[in-house]
Amino acid sequence: MLQVTEPVEWSSRSYHELSTQESIEFFDSNSEKGLTAQEVANRYKIYGWNQLPVKPGKPAWLRFLLQFHQPLLYILLIAGGVKAFLGSWTNAAVIWGVTVINAVIGYVQEAKAEGAIASLAKAVTTETTVLREEQTLRIPSQDLVPGDIVLLVSGDKVPADLRLIRVKNLQADESALTGESVPVDKSIQPLSGEISLAERTNMAYAGSFITFGQGTGIVVATADATEVGQISQAMTQRVNLSTPLTRKFAKFSRILLYGILTLATLTFAIGLEQGESWIYMFEAAVALAVSAIPEGLPAVVTITLAIGVNRMASRHAIIRKLPAVEALGGATVICSDKTGTLTENQMTVQAIYAGGEHFEVSGSGYSPKGNISLAAHHPADLFEDGLPPTLEECLIAGLLCNDSQLKQTGEDWSVVGDPTEGALIAAAAKASLSQSSFSVLKPRLDAIPFESQYQYMATLHDQVSPIIYAKGSVEAIIRRCSQMMGQNNQRIILDPVQIEQAVEKMAEKGLRVLALAKKDVHAHQHSIDHKDIETDLIFLGLQGMIDPPRPEAIAAVHACQAAGIQVKMITGDHIATARTIAQRMGIHKAGSVVAFGGRQLTSMDDQQLAQAVEEGDVFARIAPTQKLRLVEALQSKGEIVAMTGDGVNDAPALKQADIGTAMGKGGTEVAREAADMLLTDDNFASIEAAVEEGRTVYQNLRKAIAFLLPVNGGESMTILISALLARDLPILSLQVLWLNMINSLTMTVPLAFEPKPNGLMQQPPRNPQEPLITRKLLRRIVAVSIFNWILIFGIFEWAKSTTGDITVARTMAIQALVAARIIYLLSISQLGLSLFHTIRHRTVSVSPAPILVMGIVGAVALQILFSQWSVMNQLFETAPLSWIQWLTCLLPMLPMIPMAALANWIDPPS
Which amino acid type is present at position 494? L
What b/e sequence results for 564-602 when a residue is b if at least 16 CB atoms lie within 10 Å of its CB, and e otherwise?
A: ebbbbbbbbbbbbbbbbbbbbbbbbeeeebbbbbbebbe
| Residue of 686, 740, 738 lying closest to 711 (CA atoms) | 740
Pick the closest to residue 8 from 39, 47, 37, 56 (CA basis): 47
Dihedral sign, Cα of residue 251, residue 256, residue 259, residue 264? negative
Question: Of 708, 788, 718, whose CA–CA distance to 746 is shortest?
Answer: 708
Helix intervals (H) in 136-277: 175-178, 227-237, 244-273
Contact 754, 700 (CB under 8 A): yes
How close are the terminal C-alpha atoms of the chain, in Å? 70
Taking the C-alpha atoms of residue 185 and residue 14, their distance in angstroms, rounded to an integer, is 20
What is the C-alpha to C-alpha distance for residues 877 and 735, in angstroms, rounded to an integer?
8
- In whole angstroms, how far apart are CA 464 and each of 74, 228, 387, 461, 842? 91, 54, 22, 10, 87
Choose the catalytic residue: 148, 337, 658, 682. 337
185 is catalytic: no
d(CA 125, CA 129): 13
Q: How far apart are CA 558 and CA 568, in angstroms?
A: 12
Q: Which of 514, 494, 469 is nearest to 356 (CA)?
A: 494
Contact 329, 697 (CB under 8 A): yes
> What is the biggest distance separating any 2 CA atoms in the chain, rounded to whole angstroms?
121
Contact 781, 709 (CB under 8 A): yes
Helices (H), 741-881: 744-748, 775-803, 806-828, 830-841, 850-868, 870-876
Which DSSP letter does residue 573 get?
S
540 and 485 Cβ atoms separated by less than 8 Å = yes
Residues belonging to the chain: 910
Q: Count other Cβ atoms within 10 Å, centred on residue 294.
A: 24
CA 352/CA 502 separation, integer angstroms: 9
Inter-axis angle of helices 419-429 and 389-400, nearest 10: 140
Which SS3 state, helix, strand or coil, does residue 482 take?
strand
DSSP letter, residue 653: H
Q: What is the three-class DSSP state of 812?
A: helix
Cα pseudo-dihedral 9, 14, 16, 19, rounded to 10 = -80
> Distance of CA 792 to CAs 19, 135, 199, 798, 815, Å?
85, 89, 73, 10, 9
CA dihedral 292, 295, 301, 306 (to 10 degrees): -170
Cβ distance 161 to 231 under 8 Å?
no
Distance CA 35, CA 144 (A): 11
Distance (Å) of CA 87 to CA 77, 80, 93, 613: 15, 11, 11, 62
Reduce the DSSP state of residue 647 to 3 states and report it.
coil
Question: Contact 416/404 with Cβ under 8 angstroms?
Answer: yes
The DSSP letter of residue 455 is T
**CB-CB contact of 620 with 574 (8 Å):** yes
Distance, CA of 839 to chain centre: 44
Residues 6+ apart with CB under 8 A from 12: none
The catalytic site residues sit at 337
